[in-house]
A and B are shown apart, each in its own frame.
Chain A
Amino acid sequence: MTGPDRRDLVYLAAAAAGLGGVVALGDTYALRVATLVGIYAIAAIGYQLVFGRLGLLSLAQGALFGIGAYTSALLTLSLGLPAPLGIVAAVVAPAAVGAAVALPIARLESHYVALATLGLAQLALLAATNLELTGGANGLYGVPPLAVGPVEIVGGWPMLTLVWTLVGLCLLASRAMLAGGRAARFATLRDAPHAALTLGLNPVPARLVLFAAAGALGGLAGGLQVHGIGVVSPSVTGFEVMVTILAIAVVGGRGSGPGAVAGAALLIPLPEVLRFLEGSYLAAYGVVLLAAIVLMPRGLDGWLRDRFPRRPPAVPAAASAPARRRGKALAVDGLRKRFGGVTALDGVSFAVSAGTVVGLIGANGSGKTTVLNLISGLETPDAGQIRLGGVPLAERPAHHRTALGLGRGFQHPEFPEGLFVLEAAAVAARDRSVALAALERVGLAGRAAEPVAALGAAELRRLDLARTLATEPGAVILDEPAAGLTADERSALSALLRRLADEGLAVLVVDHGMDFLLPLADRIVCLDAGRVLAAGTPEAVRRDPAVVAAYLGQGAAA
C-alpha cells in the first residue's frame, strides 16, 4: 500500500547480517546460541503484548514459558504423544492460564498486577520443584526431539530454521493483532484509560486476548526449548527466565515485536561472551537493564523510530457526510454522590433537551465535574437516575453509554503516545472518513497527518472533541471546553456547539463563569455545594438573587 517502512528494512538488514554471522561461524555452538536467541525472541514478542501494549508489569511470562516446557515434556514422556502435539499443548495450556489470570488481574492497580503475577510464578516454581509429577528438583529428561515423519529435528540448522521460521510467523501474528486501528485502541486503553472508557472502548476483551496471546507465545518458546535440549528443570519457571525476557523487552523497546527480536539478539549471547565471569551474566543483565531504562527508555526500537519515523496514515480523499444520528435528550434526576465523608452531590436534577445547549456553572468544588463523571459512568452515583433518550444509564458500564449515543469531552484530555492526529480521532469511529469529518468540524482536518505531539493544549482539547464527535453521539457533555482559549477560538467553539445543537444534539457545557455561556446557552444550571442553586434562561439565572449573592457577586464586580 505505502511500501515498506524504512525501519523494517533496517531490521531485515540486521537479521541478514546476523544470519551471515552464524553462517561464517558455522559451528554447532553458534547455531545453538542463535537458536536460543530465536526461542527467547518468541517469548519476548509475546511479553510485549502485555508489558508493552497493555502497559502491565506482568512477572509471569517466565512461568508461562516454564508451563509450556513442562506441559510438552510431560505429554510426550508419560502419554507418549508425538512432539508436535506436545508443542500444540505447550501453546494452548499457557494461553489458557494467561486468559484465566487476565480477568481478575485486569482490574488491579499496577503494583498489584506485579505482585499477583509474581505470586503465580512462585506457585509454578514451588509446584515444579516439589511435585513428583514434574520430577522434583531434578526435572524431566529424555524428552524426545521434534520430528517430521521419520526425520528428527535435533539441533543444528534444522532446529535453527524451525525456530526462526516461527519467529517470523509470531512477528506476523502480532502485527496482525495490532492492525486495523487496534494498536491505537490498545494505546488509548493503556495511556488514556478514562478517555478510553468514555469513547466506548472495553478493556476486558483486549486484556483477555493479549494475555492469552502472551501466554501462547511464552509457552511455544518453552516447548521449543524443551524439545531442543531434551531436558527440563524447575529453573525454567524461575525468575532468571522472567528477568531475561523483561530485559529483552526493555532494551528492544516497549511494545515492539521486532525490537524484542533485536533485544534477544543482543542479550542472549551475553552470557557466552561473559563466560569467563561464570554466573555473573545476570548481574550484567542488571547493568544493561538499568542503563536501558535510564538512558534509553524507549529502547532500540524508539531509537530507530526517531531516525525512521512512522509514515503518517493515509488521509481519506473525502470526509463522509456528517453523521445523522438523532439527538437524544439527557436528564439527571436526584443524583447523589459522597466521597468518604464529603457530600459532593446532594440531589441534583436537570434536563438537556435534544437540540439545546445547557450550561452548567458553579464555583470550584460545587460538583460540576462530578456530574459529568456520573453521567459518563466514570463514577457510580449513590442514588439518582440518568436517562439518555429515555434509556436509564446509571446501571450501565461507561463503555456501553457511548454506544447509546453519549459523548464526553475532558478538561485535560489524555492521549496515547506516538499517534497521528487522524489515528487519535478515529480511535472510536466507524471509519476514518467519519473521523476526518469530525476533524473538519473542529478545524483540525488540515493537520490530520501530523503527530498528536505537535498539537498545543487548546488544539488537544479540540482533538478530544473530534474523537468524541467521531463516535457520532446524540448528546455531548463537555468539561470547560473554553478554558484557556483565545477570543477567536472561543467564538469558533461557540459557533460549533451552536451548530451541533441545531443539528439536534443535546449539548451540556460546564464552565466557570457566564461570559462564554451567556450568548450560547439556552438554559443555565447553577450548582452550589452539590445542589442546584438556580436554573433557567441565562438572563434569569444571572439576575437570580441567590446566584448573585453566592457566586456571581465577585465575578460581576471584577
Chain B
Amino acid sequence: MIEAAAQLAVNAVALGAVYALVALGFVLVIGAVGAVNFAHGELVMLGGMVGVGAAMLLPADLPVPGLLVLPAVLAVMAAVGLAVAGIAYAPLRRAPPTAVFIATIAVGLIVHHGVTVGIGPEPRRGPPLIDSGILDVAGVGLAHQQLATIATAAALIFAVHFLLQQTRFGRRLRAAAQDPEMARAVGIPVRLTIAVSFALAAALAGAAGLLLSNQYLVTPTDGGALMLKAYVATVIGGWGRIWGAALGAFAIAVFETLVAASASYLVAEALLYLGVLAVLAVRPQGLFGETTGRRA
C-alpha cells in the first residue's frame, strides 16, 4: 500500500517535471513572438526519436546511455529550433500572430508525417538515463529511470531559471517579450533573441522527449497531445507567465496520474479538456489573467 502510494507519487513527480520542461519551451516562444508554436509537441516527439537514434550509434553496454546522448539531443534540437524560427517565423515577422500559428501547424504536419514516412509508425524505446535498475528505499522499490528523470528535468529547469533571471540574454528575452518595439529601440537584438528562444524551446522539448522515451516509448503520433497539455498549462498558469506555465504543467501531470490510477487515462483526458472549456467559458481572460497587455 505504502509502496504503491510512493511509486505513484514518484511517477507523478517525474511526469510533472517532464511536462514542465515541455511547457517551458512552449511559453518561451509565446513570450518571444506572441504566437503559439503548434509544432512544439512534434518537437518533443522528434527529440525522443533523436535520442533513440543517437543511442543506437553508441557501443552497447556503455553506462548511463541516456545521459550520454542528452547533449547530442539538446544540440540537434536547438538546430531544429533555429530552422523552425527561420521557416515559420522569420518570413512572417510582420504578419499577424495567426499566420505564425498556421505556419507552425504546417511545420508540425511536416515533422509528424515526415517521421512516420521516414522511419515508420512503430513505437520505439529510448535509452534509460542510467540503467533499468531499481533503488530500494526502506523497502520501497523506485526505478532509477524515474529518479534520474526527476533529477535531470530539475537540473534543466534550474538552468533555464538561471539563464532567464541571471544573464544578459534572460533580461533581453524578458524585455523583448514585454515590449518588442521598446526593446529594439534600446538596442536589444530582438531577432537574435527570438532565434535563441526558438532554439532553447526546441532543445527543452527534445530533452523532454528523451526523458519520456524510455518509460513511455516514443511514437510519431505523440506530439499533438503533448502540445495540447502545454497549451492548457499555459492557460492554467496565466497566459505568457513562464513559471506559471511550468507549474500548470506539473499540476496537469499530477492530476493525470491520480485520475488514471483511480479511473482511467481516458477519463483524465476527457476531464482535462472539459475543464479547459469550463475555464474559458467562465473566465475568458484565463485562470489568472494575462501578463502582457493588449495593444489597441
Contact = CB atoms under 8 A, between A and B. Distances in A.
Do A and B make up one complex? Answer: yes
Interface of A: 55, 57, 104-105, 107-112, 114-116, 118-120, 122-123, 126, 130, 194, 239, 243, 246, 250, 277-283, 285-287, 289-290, 293-294, 297
Interface stretch (B107-115, B187-195, B254-262): B107-115
B96 to A, nearest CB: 9
B58 interface: no
Contacts, number: 120
Nearest to B294: A109
B106 to A, nearest CB: 4
Contact of A114 (B36, B95, B114): B36
Interface string B70-109: 0000000000000000011001100101110111011111
Specify the main secondary structure of chain B where it touches its partner. helix
B239 to A, nearest CB: 7
27 contacts: A104-B281, A105-B280, A107-B284, A109-B284, A109-B285, A111-B30, A111-B36, A118-B228, A119-B280, A120-B277, A122-B269, A123-B270, A239-B224, A246-B105, A279-B117, A280-B113, A280-B116, A280-B117, A281-B113, A283-B110, A283-B117, A286-B105, A286-B106, A286-B113, A289-B102, A290-B87, A293-B95
Given A104-B281, A111-B36, A114-B36, A297 B99 contact: yes
A144 B232 CA distance: 40
B24 interface: no
B147 interface: no
Contacts of B270: 123, 126
Specify which of B87, B102, B231, B270 lies most central, judged by the most chain A CB atoms within 10 Å of its CB: B102
Given A111-B35, A120-B273, 11 more contacts: A116-B276, A123-B274, A239-B224, A243-B109, A279-B116, A280-B116, A286-B107, A286-B108, A286-B113, A293-B99, A294-B103
A-B pairs with the 7 shortest C-beta distances? A286-B109, A283-B113, A290-B106, A286-B110, A289-B106, A104-B281, A119-B273
B138 interface: no
B95 A297 contact: yes
A418 to B, nearest CB: 15
A118 B103 CA distance: 17
Contacts of B276: 115-116, 119
A115 B280 contact: yes
Nearest to A295: B91
Given A104-B280, A115-B276, A246 B102 contact: yes
A484 B103 CA distance: 38
Given A278-B117, A293-B99, A293-B102, A123 B109 contact: no
B113 A279 contact: yes
Contacts of A114: 36, 101
B105 to A, nearest CB: 6
B102 A283 contact: no
A115 B235 contact: yes
A126 B205 CA distance: 26
Nearest to A290: B106
A104 B274 CA distance: 14
Contact of B296 (A110, A194, A278, A290): A194
A282 to B, nearest CB: 4
Nearest to B110: A286
Contacts of B53: none
B199 to A, nearest CB: 20
B228 A111 contact: no
Nearest to A291: B106
Interface string B263-292: 000100110011011001100111000100
Nearest to B87: A290
Contacts of B294: 109
A112 B113 contact: no
B242 to A, nearest CB: 16
A281 B101 CA distance: 21
Nearest to B98: A57
A253 to B, nearest CB: 14
Contacts of A194: 296
Contacts of A130: 266
A104 B283 CA distance: 10
